[in-house]
Amino acid sequence: MFDHAHYARLGLEKTYERVLAGTRLTPEDGEALFACPDIHAVGALAFHARARLHGDKTYFVRNRHINYSNVCVNNCRFCAFRRDTGDDGAFTLSREDIVARALDDGGHPFAEIHVVGGCHPDLSLAWFEEVFRALKDVRPRAILKAFTVAEIHHFARQEACGTEAVLRRLKNAGVAMLTGGGAEIFNPEVRRRICPEKISGDDYLRIAGEAHGLGMASNCSMLFGHIESHKDRVMHLCALREQQDKSGGFKCFIPLAFQPRHNELARELENESARAGLQTDTGLDRLRTIAVARLLLDNIPHIKAYWVMLGVKTAQAALHFGADDLDGTIMEEHIGHMAGADAAQALTRRELEDMIRGCGLTPVNRDALFNPLPKENFQEARA
């Protein structure tokens, strides 16, 4: 790392001291890190924080994403995936299709099954309970991670009950964890412009807290690189940190880099002539955001370099800017790809391990809850 004098020259003397002492950074530290002209100095602090937590361990998971439908009652302006019922390209999988996808694992069960697909107008909570029980029947050891808190809110409305009651039913049906999506940016002004129908940031945090209170884990996220300011990002991260102080169940933070194709928000940004004052979407901005997240989120253990949205190469670089997780094999991804992500649809376990070793780090095969998994036989180890 650079020395004290270097950080003092950058005006980051106190931030440097706090990182070295392992004490909490302030929102002002976060903003100063965004403003710092020396990206290496920011990255070095984040790598220090990441190494203190995880050494050179870098996590990945053999997982499968299953998108049950793209029909959604919300109309988030950044989303290229959603459709209305009856639109061209609208789809809804049957229970049998969903189970078949979970079984399509070459005989080596996925450690995580990740099920998302938006707030469907007709599919009921009871239907999903049956789906999850069927998945648990065929793959009892896989950890089921499903829905964002936005869907929990949607089911509560549909069922005219509280969100905690929905969470209890899902937990009883075998769901161990919620996915991190749906957080976007908490600033209500930005939220109104990018996802006007979606639950508020306060509701996002409240429902995540309820899940944690019931012993369910969840991830959390931030959609960045569109119309939000650096201050919005810092405030968003601090709100997640505050919630984590209260409820403690966030396992991992996922910085989701905005994919600017085939969605309304992207068209608006393209057409906007006066873009002065907005950040441009550069690889360095992505790396810096990951670094600031690692430094501010002192109570969230893991930071994900989600290779689908970052691209494989930037995800590798992110492992040296504070991230310690690459997510997983995925197998089939639509949300990012429909919005322009140009990464592959799937990576093999071997590719993930090679990516990590290629960065001089040590791969750790994990489950959805970040428990390291024992070494399997050679054949499975390469699948």
Residues engaged in binding ligand V47 (CB under 6 A): 78-80, 148, 179-182, 184, 219, 221, 223, 254, 256, 258-259, 263, 306, 309, 327, 335-336, 339
Give the nearer residue to ligand V47 in terms of CB position, either 74 or 299.
Answer: 74
164 touches 211 (CB < 8 A): no
Least gap, CB of 4 to ligand V47 (angstroms): 37
Torsion sign over Cα 123, 67, 256, 244: positive
Token pair recorded at residue 78:
């950044």
Nearest residue to the partner ligand V47, using Cβ: 181
If you write DSSP's letter for every residue of 231-247 in order, what string do you get? HHHHHHHHHHHHHHHHH
- Closest CB to ligand V47 among residues 7, 78: 78
Query: What is the smallest separation between the CB atom of 18 and ligand V47, expressed in angstroms?
Result: 29
Distance between terminal CA atoms of the chain? 37
For residues 113 and 208, give the distance between their C-alpha atoms in angstroms, rounded to a whole number: 19
Cβ at position 13, least distance to ligand V47 in Å: 35
Q: How far is the CB of 378 from ligand V47 (least distance, A)?
A: 28
Q: Give the whole-angstrom CA distance, residue 246 versus residue 209.
A: 8
Residue 336 CB, nearest approach to ligand V47 (Å): 6
Least distance between ligand V47 and beta carbon 80 (Å): 6
Compare residues 41 and 66 and give the one whose CB is closer to ligand V47: 66
**What gap in Å lies between CA 327 and CA 23, rounded to an integer?**
28
Does residue 340 contact residue 36 with C-beta atoms inside 8 Å?
Answer: no
Contact (Cβ atoms closer than 8 angstroms) between residue 40 and residue 290 = no
Between 12 and 144, CB nearer to ligand V47: 144
Beta carbon of residue 65, minimum distance to ligand V47 (angstroms, whole number): 7
| Contact in structure between 348 and 326 (CB atoms under 8 Å) | no
Q: Which residues contact 291 (CB under 8 A, 6 or more apart)?
A: 33, 42, 43, 45, 46, 321, 322
- Which residue's CB is nearer to ligand V47, number 280 or number 377? 280
The distance of closest approach from Cβ of residue 98 to ligand V47 in the complex, given in angstroms and rounded to an integer, is 18
Q: Which is nearer to ligand V47, 7 or 147 (CB)?
A: 147
Q: Which is nearer to ligand V47, 322 or 336 (CB)?
A: 336
- Residue with smaller CB distance to ligand V47, 78 or 128: 78
DSSP 8-state assignment for residue 360 = T
Contacts 24+ apart (CB under 8 A), 192-196: 193/77, 193/227, 194/76, 194/77, 194/78, 194/223, 194/226, 194/227, 194/265, 195/74, 195/76, 195/77, 195/78, 196/75
Nearest Cα to 164, choosing from 225, 226, 213, 220? 213
